[in-house]
A and B are shown apart, each in its own frame.
Chain A
Amino acid sequence: MRLDTFLQSLQDTSFATAIREDATLFPWIECFHVLALTLVIGSIAIMDLRLLGVASKDRGVAQTAAAVLPVTWTAFALAVLTGSLLFSSNATTYAHNFYFQVKLVLITLAGVNMGVYHLFLDQGVDTWHTAELTPLRARIIGGVSLCLWVGIAACGRWIGFSINTPT
């Protein structure tokens, strides 16, 4: 299968081999991955809780987004970079891991959910972005996002437990 050939050559690159064989490289990259994902999930949760009307009610949705989203995107870039490095070290194993596959699907769904939010943001945000009670569609998007990211974090942890690495 062509994908497996690609994954094998990725795994055979010098940096992937170094990450796999070095005693401390993998855990150090993991450290940065964990730091990045806590900031991604935490900052998105701030936004989601605002959309749900649970927290930051004295702040508008647009103001909350302005403070939070730069953190989200910076941390997301770091999470993707470090995640790709960890993946490369054992690409064939990770790619076939059930929890890894589910994690990628959930991240994609979270991206779609965010896209849907931005479509709505472009439309009616002026009328409700300072309101304490956000419209139902905003609350649904916030709730769905929160659930997806909890699932993503859980999958990440289960990858570690279903592949033979220190957990």
Chain B
Amino acid sequence: MTLQSLDPFCTWLAATRISQTIQSVEWIIPAVQTLHILTVAAVVSSVLMIDLRLLGIGPRDQPIAAVARRFLPFIWWSLPILFLTGAVLIVAEPSRALENPVFVLKMGLLILAAGVTLACQIPLRMSDAFWDISASRRRTARLIALSSLPLWVGIIFAGRWIAYVQGT
């Protein structure tokens, strides 16, 4: 399946009344993009705070589990806002995103990043000390942090490149 096969769907969506409204009211797209980017700010900053703690960079007086508990809700509660604002932008200009290989890349990176976040979070449910218990656990925690950071940077970069790469 190629992205071009989405052509009829994109054409239909772009012709719907809701899409037409979003396109014609000038402030909607920049306002929704602003909300989208502010929510991205909440996610990546929360991710960075957890990752820095996993790497042992910065203050270490609070255990990993406490830092994770403080910031993980911001990551997960942001996702529905990101999907909603992202969906508005897609409805406004369907082929700009849906037929864009960079958008597909961004979604792939997002799935990986969510997986890495769960890999950090789920073991903490068994024990608050899970990532502190041995040298090998601490190494794995560092590895999780080091794989999480480039994924989120990639998501942000891909997000910006959607504007510059043409849909296929």
Contact = CB atoms under 8 A, between A and B. Distances in A.
Given A27-B161, A166-B163, A68 B49 contact: yes
A104 interface: no
B42 interface: yes
B156 A38 contact: yes
Interface residues of B, number: 32
Classify the interface of chain A: helix, strand, loop or mixed: helix
A160 B156 CA distance: 17
Interface in B55-112: 58-59, 61-62, 66, 70, 74
Most buried by B among A35, A39, A58, A161: A35
B58 A38 contact: no
Contacts of B164: 24, 27, 166
Contact of A38 (B40, B70, B163): B40
A150 B38 contact: yes
Interface residues of A, number: 33
A34 interface: yes
Interface string A147-164: 000100110011011000
B44 A39 contact: yes
A98 B41 CA distance: 24
A34 B59 contact: no
Interface stretch (A11-19, A59-67, A123-131): A59-67
A30 B159 CA distance: 11
A45 B44 CA distance: 12
Given A43-B45, A46-B49, A153 B157 contact: no
A78 to B, nearest CB: 12
A141 interface: no
A166 B102 CA distance: 15
Given A58-B66, A154-B31, A30 B48 contact: no
A70 B44 CA distance: 15
B42 A45 contact: yes
A71 interface: yes
Given A27-B160, A160-B30, 13 more contacts: A34-B37, A35-B44, A38-B41, A41-B41, A42-B46, A56-B70, A58-B66, A68-B49, A71-B45, A157-B30, A157-B33, A157-B37, A167-B29
Q: Which 5 A-B pairs have the closest CB atoms?
A: A42-B45, A42-B41, A38-B41, A31-B157, A41-B41
Interface of A: 24, 27, 30-31, 34-35, 37-39, 41-43, 45-46, 55-56, 58-59, 63, 66-68, 70-71, 150, 153-154, 157-158, 160-161, 166-167
Interface of B: 29-31, 33-34, 37-38, 40-46, 48-49, 52, 58-59, 61-62, 66, 70, 74, 153, 156-157, 159-161, 163-164
